[in-house]
Amino acid sequence: MKIYRSDQYPLPLPPGHRFPAEKYPMLYRAVAQFAADLIQDTPLASDAELLAAHTPEYLAKLHNGALSAAEQRVIGLPWSAELLLRSRASTGATLAACRAALAEGCGVSLAGGTHHAFADHGSGFCVFNDSAVALRVLQAEGAVQRALVIDLDVHQGNGTAQMLADTPSLFTFSMHGANNFPFAKQQSDWDIELADGCDDARYLAELAGALPVLLAQAQADLVIYLAGADAYAGDRLGKLALTPAGLRARDMLVLDACRRFALPVAITMGGGYAQPISDTVAIQATTVQLAWVRFA
């Protein structure tokens, strides 16, 4: 098992910006307390790797700082050279985590899960779609034939669904809030929509019922698991009502199912916007620790 950090590439934001960039160094420090020997610096995603899933025109705009004000508003982050570098790092970490999973059973990115980015534009705090890039690269290399994205961020993985829709061998599953962003949903291969206020019992019953069918149907060589912390009841942007214990049980269901099916799993962090942000960090550190117990 390997764990990849990208917090060494900071993301400068205006004062008061609502994106919690500080969670990434906090998460690194939390994970280092139990798995410091497994943590590695991330490789940066190359242009060739990014172009496996994104358009040349979009990449050129990012290179040249040519995103319009409207395009930056859709992303929700102001363009900067540091934003581009950080986005390369986050995407590179997911690809590296996938390679580690294929070699050793599990890989983790302490960032990633940027599932709102589309081929030709960013959206929802996401510049590049790390899952789409990683799976396109690995398929082109022949490292995987089939793969499954299990997206349990509270927001639908709309960019991933759209970008992989034309490839039946790359199966997308998203379980998310019905009344949350993005308000115009895309069609995943399998979507489960949850009502506001969904609690642990309802959530875990839905997931436990879906997982065996999902894994059998996808017939995957690799799973990417977006372990978003934003289904937490204390999340500012979540609208669901899961407790930390419920989120821990969610992670155990996914990780134990992957082990039972002998499926390599790459884990990305997805969203988390709790107040205080230390609640998000604790939830995501627990996700990594559960993987560490099972795969290290």
Q: Any catalytic annotation for residue 176?
A: no
HSE-up of residue 151 (Cα within 13 Å, Cβ side): 34
First to last CA, the chain: 5
| Strand pairing class (222-226; 2-5) | unpaired
Sheet architecture: strand order including 190-194: 39-41, 2-5, 106-109, 265-268, 222-226, 147-151, 170-177, 190-194
**Best CA proximity match to 265, nearest among 232, 295, 224:** 224
Catalytic one of 54, 115, 116, 121: 116
| 90 and 6 Cβ atoms separated by less than 8 Å | yes
- What residue type is 60 in one-letter code? A
For the annotated catalytic residues, the residue numbers are 116
